[in-house]
Amino acid sequence: MKKVALVTGGSRGIGLGIARALAQAGFDLAINGVREESAVEEALSELRGMGADVIYCRGDVSLSESRQQIIDQIRSHFGRLNVLVNNAGVAPKERKDILEATEESFDYVLNTNLKSSYFLSQAAANWMIEQKNNNPEFEGAIINVSSISATAVSVNRGEYCIAKAGMSMATQLFAARLGDYDIPVYEVRPGIIATDMTAKVTEKYDKLIAEGLTVQRRWGLPEDVGKAVAALSVGSFPYSTGQVIMVDGGMNIPRL
């Protein structure tokens, strides 16, 4: 029986890169997004063409009722969940200095990027424990896709940095709590990745990368993140729960 993975925000960008890698690794998939299913049909068809049984779980993960509907839909279709990939995220609608940032923007970003992953992890973890109790051979994992913004300061999008820093702590919390059940929890921390979210700042990062921002002088790609998530999902790092996997081209290496 194939393992099942839920990828939030899995219909484009980093999420689609992750979904492709998981399909190649032999997973069946539940793809979450907020767009109409007709708008993501091309991505779903591509994944099905790779041999995966794919369902689309439309819903806003910042809402409690949507998170429950996603879990219920997976239960109904697959009857199991092995891997949760908390990838869905938004940038501030308008980048503002932290001296001018609004509570509305803070709530929007924190609810989508942090609150959603925290409580979806809670729901998935309880179901994974249930599956583990019913079948000692069950293998599960939770993978949080954060960002170098968990530690790298951007004063014009503080709410995003805080959300990702919170996700980093949530990874350690769930790793510690689920250790008794041998359910590992990981954080994958991408750097500058070419996606819709970074499209508006392409010129800025082209220049910075050329000047040596990253050791590997290129943009990261969604498939770079996907390969890391797939390796964690198939159990290639069984004794590394709570760890951060950097996918940043060496950006985090201190250099003189």
From the candidates 56, 108, 160, 239, which is the catalytic residue?
160
Give helix then strand counts, H and E, for the chain. Answer: 8, 7
Of residues 199 and 174, more confidently modeled: 174
CATH match for 4-247 among 2.40.50.460, 3.30.360.10, 3.30.1180.20, 3.40.50.720: 3.40.50.720
Cα 20 from Cα 44, distance rounded (Å): 10
Cα 14 from Cα 143, distance rounded (Å): 13
160 in active site: yes
- Give the percent of the chain with pLDDT over 70: 100
Choice among 159-168, 190-199, 224-233 with the minimum mean pLDDT: 190-199
pLDDT digits 0-9 by tens, 220-253: 999 999 999 999 999 999 999 999 999 999 999 9
Nearest to 6 by CA among 76, 68, 59, 56: 56
Q: Where are the beta strands (DSSP E) in the chain?
A: 4-7, 28-33, 54-58, 83-86, 141-145, 185-190, 244-247
pLDDT digits 0-9 by tens, 41-99: 999 999 999 999 999 999 999 999 999 999 999 999 999 999 999 999 999 999 999 99
Do 117 and 39 contact (CB within 8 A), yes or no? no
Please give the radius of gyration of the chain, using alpha carbons only, rounded to the nearest integer: 18
pLDDT band at 197 (very low <50, low <70, confident <90, very high): confident
- For the chain, what's the residue count? 256
In what order do the strands lie in the sheet containing 4-7? 54-58, 28-33, 4-7, 83-86, 141-145, 185-190, 244-247
Q: Is 246 left (phi over 0), alpha (psi -120 to 50) or beta?
A: beta
Give the pLDDT of residue 68: 98
* pTM across the whole model: 0.97
pLDDT band at 200 (very low <50, low <70, confident <90, very high): confident
| Segment 113-125 mean pLDDT | 98
Cα 105 from Cα 90, distance rounded (Å): 11
